[in-house]
Structure formats: C-alpha cells, structure tokens
Amino acid sequence: MGGGPDRPGLSLIPGPVAPDRTAIVVAGPTASGKSALALAIARELGGVVVNADSMQVYRELSVLTARPGPAALAAAPHRLYGVLPAAERCSAGRWRVMAEAAAAEARQTRRQPIFVGGTGLYLRALTEGFAPVPEVPAEVAAEGARRLAALGPAGLHAELVHLDPVTAGRLAAADSQRILRAWTVFRATGRPLSEWQAEAPAGGGWRSLTIALTPPRAALYAACDARFCRMVEEGAVEEVKSLLALGLDPGLPAMRAVGVRELAGAIAGRTSLPAAIAAAQTATRRYAKRQMTWIRHQMASAYLVPEKFSERILPDIFAKIRHFLLTAPA
C-alpha cells in the first residue's frame, strides 16, 4: 500500500498537505471492523488514528473495549487510547478538546488524522460542534447516580418531566444514561439541557468524509458474540476484577461499559460465568443495533459500506478518499 508510516502524507494527500480542518472519519457499530479499517487507511496515508470511542479512552478497559493491540500500535501512531483513568468522566466536550490537540499534533508532522469510533456524539461534536453545556461537577454526578439507584430510570424520568419537559419528552423512560445526563445538567446549572442544546454550537468547522461500516444484522450479531467470547479468553474477567477493586462510583462511565455489570455478577457469585457471557453478548448486540440506527438516521452524508471490514473493500475506499482529498479547497 502507498505511503506507509515511514512516508507520511505521500500516498493520497496532495502536496503539500490537505487543509488543517480536513477530517477522515471511520464509523460503525461494535465488531464491524472499523478499527482495522482506520488502521489500513492510516497506513495508506501515513496518518494517525485518533480514538473517538467513549470507552476506549479509559486506561483500565483494554480488553473489554477491544483496544488496539501491540501490532496495530506498531503499524501506525494511535492517539487518545487509554488516556484517562476510570475514576474520571469523559464527555463529548472534553473529548473534542483532546481530539483537536491530537489532530494539531498530527498536522505538525504532516500526517492526516483519521478519527475512528462508534460514539456518534463524539463524532458529531468534532465535525458539527456541540451545545456549550458546562461540565457537571463530580458531586452532582454522584448525587444523580444515587438518585437513579434509588428511583430507577422510570422514577428519575418522572422527575425530569418537571425539570426539563422538552428533554424528557424525547427520552424513553428506560434510557437511564440520557435521563441521568439531563437531570444532572439541570441540578448543576439550574437550566434545562434542552435550553443549552438550543444555543449555537461550539467547535465544528471540519470538512469531513465519513466512511461507515454497516454489515448485515446476522453477520454483525455473530461477530459481536464471537468477539465477547474472545474477550473472556483474553482476560476480560480479570480486567473487571481489577476495575471493581478500585471501589469506584458505579455511576462513572467506565463502570457502565458493556460487559462490566454482567461479569461483575459472575465475579460476585450472583450468576454463572456462562450466563454472564450470554447476558453480555445480548447487551453487545443491543448496543450494536443502537449504533446502526444512529448511523442510518444521523449520518445521512456518510459513505456507507454494507459489510464488515475486509481488504476487499479497500480499493473503493481509497479511491473515495483520494477524490475527497484532491478536491479539498485550498
């Protein structure tokens, strides 16, 4: 393949280099092969892979998030993987600041940043900007987690109806994560999340090409199931044990990663390991389904690839990237 890591920017990027605000984005549901695709593009471009997955930022979640291994890290530079401790909270706003810095670093070495991940909110924050919602203080987040544990998602949703009826009307009563987010924003700022979101977005300004892998459902679900079994073989149970030993707030994002709750049940003896694996596989498939729905509804301009990653799809994708970069405005 063209440029390779030792020849940054020579393969597809027109000289001297594509504009600073040009982004290549690789999206897709979990287990679709998007990390492998991003790596192939980075090798072809002499680029840098920048993580846009909300769980791969956490240091303690290597196995459960299928973080790139030594071979991938040796093949191309990777940024924003395992950069935060699980005790901290990442948000779309915080991630965007880190991503902008990673992109600037890449450009200083004349490398094209390739953003890859399945967290749609992060990708949107980068390419379109995001509502300037202030960070929620840790004590308010902890209060919200306690309230959610006491009332359950439906109970907290009922409270949100009175605090922020616009946001509450958009959310299902079982959507605990988004209900908690809206509840804590109101508690922290005294303003509904819907009001913050109505303000002009901050950030954005990228000219982007998004490539989204959208495999058939049966193939995707089979890949999800197989990958979680591999995670267990590679040490996922031990990883969750180490995470639990930190005694972290269960409301922290890292503690809500797919597989943590299920394997924690087996570790505590509340269920068997086979039952925990089956439950985690179900949760993974549901997560992949939500990601696919988001891509189809929110990424209307994306170049959709209706299959999992394989080297067979690379020529068409490289041609698409070549055209995108060669037509970038000066």
DSSP 268-319: TTSS-HHHHHHHHHHHHHHHHHHHHHHHHHH-TTSEEE-S---GGGHHHHHH
Q: Is the pLDDT of residue 12 over 50?
A: no
Q: Is the pLDDT of residue 206 over 90?
A: no
User: How high is the pLDDT of residue 127?
Assistant: 81
Q: What are the backbone angles phi and psi of residue 250, rounded to the nearest 5°?
A: -65, -15
Q: What is the mean pLDDT of residues 263-285?
A: 97
DSSP string, 9-64: T-SSSPSS---TTEEEEEE--TTSSHHHHHHHHHHHHT-EEEE--TTTTBTT-STT
- Which is more confident, 215 or 300? 215
What does the alpha-carbon distance between residue 149 and residue 143 come to, in Å, rounded to a whole number?
A: 10
User: How high is the pLDDT of residue 258?
Assistant: 96
Q: Is the pLDDT of residue 216 over 80?
A: yes
Confidence of residue 15 (pLDDT cuts 50, 70, 90): very low
Closest by CA to 166, choosing from 185, 148, 147, 149, is 185
Helix pair angle (260-267, 273-298), 10° resolution = 170
- Which is more confident, 53 or 89? 53
Contact 227, 63 (CB under 8 A): no
- Residue 12's contacts (CB-CB under 8 Å, 6 or more residues apart) are 2, 3, 44, 45, 318, 321, 322, 325
Tokens coding 163 = 């605090």
Question: Which letter does DSSP use for residue 90 in this model?
Answer: -
- Which is more confident, 196 or 303? 303
Confidence of residue 157 (pLDDT cuts 50, 70, 90): very high
Q: What is the mean pLDDT of residues 57-64?
A: 98
Q: What percent of the chain has pLDDT over 70?
A: 91
User: How high is the pLDDT of residue 267?
Assistant: 98
Confidence of residue 259 (pLDDT cuts 50, 70, 90): very high
- Which is more confident, 261 or 7? 261
Q: What is the mean pLDDT of residues 56-78?
A: 97
Q: Is the pLDDT of residue 318 over 80?
A: yes
Question: Which letter does DSSP use for residue 66 in this model?
Answer: T
Q: Is the pLDDT of residue 18 over 80?
A: no
Read off the pLDDT of residues 158-197 as tens digits, 9 standing for 90 and up.
Answer: 999 999 999 999 998 888 888 999 999 999 999 999 888 7
Cα Rg for the chain, rounded, in angstroms? 20
Q: What is the mean pLDDT of residues 250-268?
A: 94
User: How high is the pLDDT of residue 6?
Assistant: 38
Q: In 3-state terms, what secondary structure has residue 174?
A: coil
- Residue 326's contacts (CB-CB under 8 Å, 6 or more residues apart) are 14
Out of 8-12, 249-253, 323-327, pick the least confident: 8-12
Closest by CA to 47, choosing from 94, 127, 102, 101, is 102
Residue 190, judged by CB atoms within 10 A of its CB (0-12, 13-18, 19+), counts as exposed
Domains and CATH numbers, the chain: 22-130+202-326 (3.40.50.300), 138-198 (1.10.20.140)
DSSP string, 211-277: EEE---HHHHHHHHHHHHHHHHHTTHHHHHHHHHTT---TTSGGGGSTTHHHHHHHHTTSS-HHHHH
User: How high is the pLDDT of residue 207?
Assistant: 87
Q: Is the pLDDT of residue 234 over 60?
A: yes
- Which is more confident, 92 or 295? 295
Asked if the peptide bond before residue 16 counts as cis, ω within 30 degrees of 0, the response is yes
- Which is more confident, 14 or 92? 92
- Among 4-8, 168-172, 281-285, which range has the highest average pLDDT? 281-285
User: How high is the pLDDT of residue 147?
Assistant: 93
Element (H, E) at 208: strand 207-213
Q: Is the pLDDT of residue 94 over 60?
A: yes
Confidence of residue 114 (pLDDT cuts 50, 70, 90): very high
Q: Is the pLDDT of residue 143 over 60?
A: yes
